Structure 1
Amino acid sequence: MKRWRQALTGYAFVLPALVLFAVMGVYTIGYGLLLSFARWNGFSPHWTWVGLDNYLDVLYQDPNTAPYVQEAALHTVVVMVFVPLLAVVVGLPVAIALNRIRLFRTTLRTVFFLPYVTTGIAVFYAWTYVLQPQGSLNFILTHLGLGTLAQPQGFLGNPTTALPTLIVVMAWSAIPVAILLFLTGLQAIDPAVIDAATVDGASGMRMTTSIVWPLLRPITAAVILLNLRDSLQGFQMFLLMTNGGPGGHTNVLGLEVYKQAFFKELRPTLGISSALGWLLFVAAILLASVNVRALRSRT
């Protein structure tokens, strides 16, 4: 009886968390999956079951939906390529430099990590102000004699510069995590390996490319995977800074899911939004699997 009483006491403590997970997790996921096979506007008492039509509409069938999704998918692919690339290309050299210096090391690490811990919404609005036609960036470029690089309509108002600018802002937020992860990997490297390579004549770039970089491959894979996930599913920055504009040039799949769910008047598009969300989920799982398999095959 004492053992049963202890078990029941433990289950009683765990039960609220299980109920919360079942309601907010399992039920929500199941509800969203069923909704992806139906048409519903969020107000009518009944669904209209359509099977795979929502998925086909998202991919190619519906001329009112598919072109927007395809354009958003193209923009998402561009973001997924360049944000992880910038995170690695910038994060690794900075991490190596921070790992080597001795003076003000802790202060510099804190400074480089600040963009990540700063509230996202506040940062996005601050960047929006900086990138406006009368913002700080145009002001600085003009007074440095680089007026030809300034954008009279703002960097977010020009269709040519809007998406690259958002990629830079997104990478700016992602680089601190990359630096932290690379620093962790650098500090885990056995100093004897570095000493042996130094004795053999390796130094500078040769040391980085032939010794440090291969040893940091698992960390690099983690950095790429994290940024691929954020690039595929994130949309807050695009919503707050441009809302997909100008002219849809910064619309991404995560933002399109949001728009289909809440801003397509007179059309029951919650099912389409759910179908697109599940396609994003499957894409994220596939990307993670490919990344893990590639990492496993090289380690």
Structure 2
Amino acid sequence: MAVTTDSVAARLVREPRRATRSRQRGRRALVGYAFIAPAVVLFLVMGLYTLVYSFGLSFAKWNGFSPSWDWVGLENYRDLLYADPRLAPEIRGAALNTGLAMVAVSFGTVLIALPLATLLNSITRLRGTLRSIFFLPYVTAGIAVYYAWRYVLEPDGAVNLALRAVGLGSLARPQGFLADPDTALPTLIVIMIWGSVPVAMLLYLAGLQAIDPAVTEAASLDGAGAVRRLRHITWPLLVPITVAIVLLGLRDTMQGFQIFLIMTNGGPAGHTDVLGLKAYQQAFFQSLSPTLGVASALGWLIFLAALLLAVVNARLLRGQR
């Protein structure tokens, strides 16, 4: 009987404690929800709402000021793809430039970042200093870098002066590299590679440092030279990192247009137009023309392309595991 009474008393003591702990957990949960509520509201308003709004706008004509939309169905998409005799060729040209930039930037980044990472991995002194120097292009403010590049690429800029000084005046461009139709897009691609190499180099450096030195030493003892070690040992282990670098470069180049806007604004004569820049121009540089729907439609086409690229990215990365 005493045991039963004691167990009942102990249960009566534990139940209020459990209730107190439950209330405390509930209060902590409410505090947590209160902290994340502003971010959730901001996402719902600035993210989800604008996403749905832009999707609806892609089926309408609107200039941003008229009180109502003019619903046109799929007309905006047809105009972008083939129907508009002026806009459709511009979009195809911008898509071609975007594709060229995506491929060139992604693979150019790999071709430069891997040797730099190998060089950094092979030295011990000043490694941190060199790593900071190589990483400088990435941490420098983008707009400041773009204006600096514009300055050195002008007709009387440092690049033309340097070419003439070393006897390569035939390579100089009297109108500047950004104003020449033959060099404008390649020049921007080079600048984009210059800005994307630092992150890729650090990823490769991390991958190289993760390789067991005993493996490469054993290969050296077996008579494998540097090229064979790179081909049969180092490169296969770096393939997953390479896939990630290439796919991230493809995505960033497809969605980004800031460098094209600041440095050339699509010129000369549309030779540096890209899809993101065309969407921006259709939205904000058409006076009062009802082109916001066209801009939204183009934005959704870019989104679908990016989504397809993300699916390919996920499948390739899953296949490397």
Q: TM-score range by the shorter chain?
A: over 0.9
2 CA distance for matches of 1:290 and 1:282?
Answer: 12
Are 2:100 and 1:44 equivalent residues in the alignment? no
User: Which of 101, 116, 127 lines up with 1:79 in the alignment?
Assistant: 101
Cα distance in 1 for partners of 2:41, 2:65 equals 27
1:132 equivalent in alignment to 2:154: yes
Structure 2 counterpart of 1:12: 34
Please, what TM-score do these two structures have when normalized by structure 2?
A: 0.90
Q: Distance in 1 between matches of 2:285 and 2:135?
A: 36
Query: What SS does structure 1 have at the residue aligned with 2:143?
Result: helix
Letter in structure 2 aligned against 1:212:
T
> Contact 2:63–2:289 (CA<8 Å) still a contact in 1?
yes
Deviation at 1:293, TM superposition (A): 2.0
Spell out, residue by residue over 1:118-160, the C-alpha distance to the aligned partner (whole angstroms, 9 max, x if none): 0100000000011100000000000101111111111111100
Give the Cα–Cα distance (whole angstroms) in 2 for the partners of residues 276 and 185 of structure 1. Answer: 38
Taking the aligned partners of 1:188 and 1:173, their CA distance within structure 2 comes to: 25
For residues 269 and 111 of structure 1, the distance between their equivalents in structure 2, rounded to whole angstroms, comes to: 45
Q: Report what 1:294 is aligned to.
A: 316
Question: Are positions 1:163 and 2:185 aligned together?
Answer: yes
Note if 1:109 corresponds to 2:134.
no
The aligned runs of 1:243-282 (5 Å cut-off) are 243-282=265-304
Aligned to 1:220: 242
- Unaligned ranges ≥5, structure 2: 1-22
Aligned to 2:219: 197
Return the letter of the residue paired with 1:17: A
Q: Give the structure 2 partner of residue 58 of structure 1.
A: 80
Residue type of the alignment partner of 1:46: S
Moved over 4 A (4+): none
**CA displacement 1:30-75 (0-9 Å, x = unmatched):** 1111111111110111111222221111111112321111110011
Q: Deviations over 1:184-221 (max 9, x none)?
A: 11112222322232233222111111111110111111
Confirm or deny that 1:179 pairs with 2:175.
Answer: no
Quote the sequence identity (%).
Answer: 62
Return the alpha-carbon distance in structure 2 between the equivalents of residues 153 and 2 of structure 1. Answer: 72
- 112-121 or 19-28: bigger deviation: 19-28
1:91 maps to 113
Q: Which moved more, 1:26-35 or 1:106-115?
A: 26-35
CA offsets per residue over residues 83-120 of structure 1, 9 Å max, x none? Answer: 01110000001101101111211111100000000010
Q: Aligned pair 1:230/2:252, yes or no? A: yes
Letter in 2 for 1:218: P
Q: TM-score, normalised by structure 1?
A: 0.96
Aligned residues: 299
Question: Does the 8 Å CA contact 2:240/2:320 hold for their aligned counterparts?
Answer: no
Q: Does 1:150 align with 2:154?
A: no
Consecutive unaligned residues in structure 1, runs of 5 or more: none
Q: Which has the larger radius of gyration?
A: 2
SS in 2 for 1:160: coil
CA distance in 2, matches of 1:158, 1:61: 31
Read off the aligned partner of 1:279 and give its amino acid letter: L
The CA distance in 2 between the partners of 1:62 and 1:239, in whole Å, is: 24
